[in-house]
Amino acid sequence: MNKAGPASDTFGCYTFSLPEMQKRLPRPIYEAIQATIASGEPLDTGFADEIAHAMKEWAVELGATHFTHWFQPLTGATAEKHDAFLSFADGRPIERFSGSQLIQAEPDASSFPSGGMRSTFEARGYSAWDPTSPAFLVYNEHGGTLTIPSVFVSYTGEALDKKTPLLRSMRELGRSARAVLELMGRPTKSVSATLGAEQEYFLVHRDLFALRPDLEVTGRTVIGTTPPKGQQMEDNYFGTIDDRALDFMGEVEAEAWKLGIPVKTRHNEVAPHQYEAAPLFQAINVSSDQNHLLMEIMRKVARRRNLAVLFHEKPFAGVNGSGKHNNWSLADADGRNLLEPGDNPDQNIEFLFFLAGALRAVHTRAPLLRASIASAGNDHRLGANEAPPAIISVFLGSRLTEILDTLLSGEDVSAVQEQVIQTGLEVLPDVQKDNTDRNRTSPFAFTGNKFEFRAVGSGQSNSMPMAWLNLAVAEALDEMWTRLKARLDAGEERNEAILAVVKEVYADAKPIVFNGNNYSADWVDEAERRGLPNAVNTPAALKALVDEDAKSFAAKYGMLQPHELDARYTILLEKYNRMIEIEAVQAIRMAKTGVLPAAYAQQALMADAWRGVEKCGIDAPVQKEELETYTGFVGETLSAIDAVRQALANAPDEEEAAERAAWCIDTTIPAMDRLRVVCDTLERRTDEELWPFPSYHALLFQ
Ligand code: ADP
Ligand code: MG
């Protein structure tokens, strides 16, 4: 029985999609929107009233009562504030939605973090419609809300969100890639960056989740001992999906399809109760919005089905964490993938050019890419020998590396060109098949016709990682354009000139290429020899945002101004500190109100048993020893609690965000770790019936 019907029947029925606009809007307006979506051209605000009216008619027909601007503030995931369409004309109630309401809204946003920017500039924040991402309808039992993807900016133009920089980076990348193609004699109307985001997550029983305040409050378990059978058997990956998860996925997909999210793939991940969902790729801003939306849908569906979905990067110590692999590429106006090796030498030479551009970008701007994925949660993954390491490098695969190395070793480019075109480049389409040995340990892997930024955390927004990547590639392509132009002006043959630039760029960027095992200890040393940065935790990684060179880079391209980066640095550090401190408080509370009471009961059990045995005239020295040992752990728990408490009490002031973060790293986290070790020891030695929190075993196998 197929309850939901084919996906194509309902796909996009709750989005104000291009076909819907075509039906409802006069042709010139429809065409203007189409142009805006395709190439980011500004939309004539004179059309706003008509668009707003059509949007409202569509939404109200489907049962909407409210509308909201929907944006991505600097902390948290998304924000929205609903207003009813209800209005009054001559005392009569009607539904109204004006162009100005569509274009701009002023949420009472004073509580969103701005890192001091708003007070400095006395500018209030407002949200502005992003016409390049479709509006959609979110249902509740009383109707629906027309949801308008928006950016969130200050009146003086500072970006107070994650999406504004993303849109700016897309504009820059589109411009630079177009210029390159033009110079190569293949002009195109637009180039857009594409994203397919694979989302990993855990599903656990809601009743058990509700008994784990750490999971509820911090997203991860701050205590809890790993079960004997975790994922060691590696029998879960791509295994049969159990019914509970399948029913959940089915409901999520049905909702996602209606909202125009092309969810395509679903499977089990490495850990028990861990899964992945992957939609087809789209323009990055749309994909990024849709990923937020998909996470929202998952949360709601999970709640309905008495499940909890975990997006934290590391909910369970000792068990695989979750990422959000960002598959990234470039497409021209005809949808041609610029990172796809073609079937003729010209196309392949261009492919090598864009590939080299990406290498140069990652090599030059690795610290910013690392900063863009830094968070308290992701710190547990990066460098923890399971996820890609904190060292950013690129996996190219043996075939491509060989081709580029051949190019590099040739003294005379034209000789190599001949050789490469006639031998190497003909086999470039094979690169895609070479995909099988792609390196799962790499933070940034070329997977045949796209790059996969694997180090992004499962709970993070894709917007900033993609924004920095786009901008870095724009910079690399601009620089390569200049080199190519000079060669062409000097009369060099086109393909020869392109290959010469590829060769130069690859020679510089080669240290970023690493095809080996990123988890090995040797790589850390090797990376250091190569001069690759290794920011081992969030505070270290975030420093890249306030580096002078990074600031002038972001300002040069109009993505973010230096004071905006200062503000973001502070906001992200404060967010980090707060998260660590919340975890610490949570750990203390659970130890005091759960672990210790259980331990005292266990002690009483042990003491009673021992005394009873001795009363019978039987010596039980081992039981006594056991009780002494256990009592020792209880004492350690008490002193470990005190150490965490002191770490919190003695932390530097909140205003000293960097010092406070350093304190978290040096003092608070180690104290929490010690507390965890002893709590977990007690858990292994305490009657299961007495233990107040669901065990890992229960969470991961029930
Ligand atoms: P794999 O499973 O081998 O990683 P898939 O083909 O299943 O590869 O793709 C994984 C994700 O990558 C999907 O979201 C897919 O849409 C996306 N993807 C494929 N091609 C591109 C591209 N050109 N640009 C961006 N994402 C892409
Ligand atoms: Mg993949």
The CATH number for 258's domain is 3.30.590.10
Predicted confidence at residue 403, as pLDDT, reads 83
Q: Measure the CA angle with vertex 25, ends 22 and 26; round to 5°.
A: 105
The answer on pLDDT for 429 being more than 60 is no
With a 6 Å cutoff on the Cβ, whether 282 touches ligand 1 is no
Total domain count for the chain?
Answer: 3
With a 6 Å cutoff on the Cβ, whether 85 touches ligand 1 is no
In whole angstroms, what is the distance from residue 523 CA to residue 520 CA?
Answer: 6
Judgement on whether residues 179 and 82 belong to the same structural domain of the protein:
no
Question: Does 568 map to a domain?
Answer: no
Q: What is the mean pLDDT of the chain?
A: 90
Q: How crowded is the C-beta side of 389, counted as CA atoms within 13 Å?
A: 24
Give distance in angstroms: CA of 198 to centre of ligand 2: 7
In whole angstroms, what is the distance from residue 277 CA to residue 285 CA?
Answer: 18
Find tokens 């392109």 and name the residue.
498
With a 6 Å cutoff on the Cβ, whether 281 touches ligand 1 is yes
Give distance in angstroms: CA of 278 to centre of ligand 2: 9
| Pairing outcome for strands 143-154 and 64-71 | parallel
Specify the ligand 1 atom closest to the Cα of 281.
16
In whole angstroms, what is the distance from residue 515 CA to residue 486 CA?
Answer: 33
Task: Mention every residue, 6+ apart, whose C-beta is less than 8 A from residue 639.
Answer: none
**CATH for 50:** 3.10.20.70
Judgement on whether residues 150 and 299 belong to the same structural domain of the protein:
no
Share of the chain above pLDDT 90, in %: 74
Q: How crowded is the C-beta side of 205, counted as CA atoms within 13 Å?
A: 12
Predicted confidence at residue 521, as pLDDT, reads 87
Q: Nearest to residue 327, comparing CAs of 368, 366, 357, 291?
A: 291
| Closest C-alpha to ligand 1, atom 22 | 329
Burial class (CB in 10 A: 0-12, 13-18, 19+), 328: buried
Judgement on whether residues 535 and 608 belong to the same structural domain of the protein:
no
Contact 386, 320 (CB under 8 A): yes
With a 6 Å cutoff on the Cβ, whether 280 touches ligand 1 is yes
| Closest C-alpha to ligand 1, atom 17 | 196
Task: Mention every residue, 6+ apart, whose C-beta is less than 8 A from residue 421.
Answer: 345, 348, 349, 495
Per-residue burial over 23-36, b = 16 or more CB atoms within 10 Å of its CB, e = otherwise: ebbeeebbebbeeb
Find tokens 């408080």 and name the residue.
585
Contact 165, 173 (CB under 8 A): no
Question: Does 629 map to a domain?
Answer: yes
The answer on pLDDT for 119 being more than 60 is no
Judgement on whether residues 188 and 217 belong to the same structural domain of the protein:
yes
Judgement on whether residues 516 and 583 belong to the same structural domain of the protein:
no
**CATH for 613:** 1.20.120.1560
In whole angstroms, what is the distance from residue 359 CA to residue 568 CA?
Answer: 26
Predicted confidence at residue 599, as pLDDT, reads 98
| Closest C-alpha to ligand 1, atom 4 | 447
* Model confidence band, residue 120 (pLDDT cutoffs 50, 70, 90): very low
What distance, in Å, lies between the first and last C-alpha atoms of the chain? Answer: 27
Burial class (CB in 10 A: 0-12, 13-18, 19+), 64: buried
In whole angstroms, what is the distance from residue 456 CA to residue 462 CA?
Answer: 8
Question: Does 227 map to a domain?
Answer: no
The answer on pLDDT for 405 being more than 50 is yes
Judgement on whether residues 152 and 200 belong to the same structural domain of the protein:
no
Judgement on whether residues 257 and 389 belong to the same structural domain of the protein:
yes
Specify the ligand 1 atom closest to the Cα of 280.
16
Predicted confidence at residue 142, as pLDDT, reads 87
Q: Which of 142, 160, 178 delimits the end of a domain?
A: 160
State the sign of the Cα–Cα–Cα–Cα dihedral 568, 570, 573, 577.
Answer: negative
Cα–Cα distance list, 498 to 80, 285, 330, 356, 504 (Å): 48, 31, 18, 11, 10
Q: Measure the CA angle with vertex 78, ends 77 and 84; round to 5°.
A: 160
Predicted confidence at residue 402, as pLDDT, reads 84
pLDDT digits (tens, 9 = 90+) for 38-82: 877 778 888 889 999 999 999 999 999 999 999 998 876 788 888
Contact 394, 476 (CB under 8 A): no
Whole-prediction pTM: 0.94
With a 6 Å cutoff on the Cβ, whether 290 touches ligand 1 is no
**Residue 568 is encoded by which pair of tokens?**
């973001």
* Model confidence band, residue 235 (pLDDT cutoffs 50, 70, 90): low
Give distance in angstroms: CA of 440 to centre of ligand 1: 15
Judgement on whether residues 582 and 553 belong to the same structural domain of the protein:
no
Question: Does 150 map to a domain?
Answer: yes
Structural domain range at position 156: 10-160
Q: Which of 116, 136, 160 delimits the end of a domain?
A: 160
| Closest C-alpha to ligand 1, atom 24 | 329
Judgement on whether residues 371 and 394 belong to the same structural domain of the protein:
yes
pLDDT digits (tens, 9 = 90+) for 541-584: 999 999 999 999 999 999 999 999 999 999 999 999 999 999 99
pLDDT digits (tens, 9 = 90+) for 348-378: 889 999 999 999 999 999 999 999 999 999 9
What phi and psi, each to the nearest 5 degrees, are found at residue 380?
-75, -20
Predicted confidence at residue 455, as pLDDT, reads 93
The answer on pLDDT for 603 being more than 50 is yes
Predicted confidence at residue 422, as pLDDT, reads 52
Give distance in angstroms: CA of 325 to centre of ligand 2: 7
Q: Which of 497, 529, 560 delimits the end of a domain?
A: 560
Question: Does 565 map to a domain?
Answer: no
Question: Does 229 map to a domain?
Answer: no
**Residue 306 is encoded by which pair of tokens?**
């008495």
User: Which residues is 45 bridged to in the sheet?
Assistant: none
The answer on pLDDT for 2 being more than 50 is yes
158 or 472, higher pLDDT: 472
Judgement on whether residues 549 and 680 belong to the same structural domain of the protein:
no
Task: Mention every residue, 6+ apart, whose C-beta is less than 8 A from residue 237.
Answer: 268, 269, 270
Give distance in angstroms: CA of 432 to centre of ligand 1: 12
Judgement on whether residues 469 and 604 belong to the same structural domain of the protein:
no
Judgement on whether residues 399 and 437 belong to the same structural domain of the protein:
yes
pLDDT digits (tens, 9 = 90+) for 644-686: 999 999 999 999 999 999 999 999 999 999 999 999 999 999 9
Of 35-49, 364-378, 466-480, 597-611, the one with minimum mean pLDDT is 35-49
Question: Does 302 map to a domain?
Answer: yes
Question: Does 350 map to a domain?
Answer: yes
**DSSP character string of 52-82:** HHHHHHHHHHTTEEEEEEEE-BSSSS-EEEE
Please choose from 446, 449, 450 the residue to mutate so as to test ligand 1's pocket, defined by most ligand atoms within 8 A of CB. Answer: 450
Q: Nearest to residue 637, comparing CAs of 689, 693, 588?
A: 588
Per DSSP, the three-state class of 282 is strand
With a 6 Å cutoff on the Cβ, whether 311 touches ligand 1 is no
Per DSSP, the three-state class of 555 is helix
With a 6 Å cutoff on the Cβ, whether 192 touches ligand 1 is no
Task: Mention every residue, 6+ apart, whose C-beta is less than 8 A from residue 270.
Answer: 231, 234, 236, 237, 320
In whole angstroms, what is the distance from residue 624 CA to residue 606 CA?
Answer: 8
Predicted confidence at residue 174, as pLDDT, reads 96
Predicted confidence at residue 122, as pLDDT, reads 42
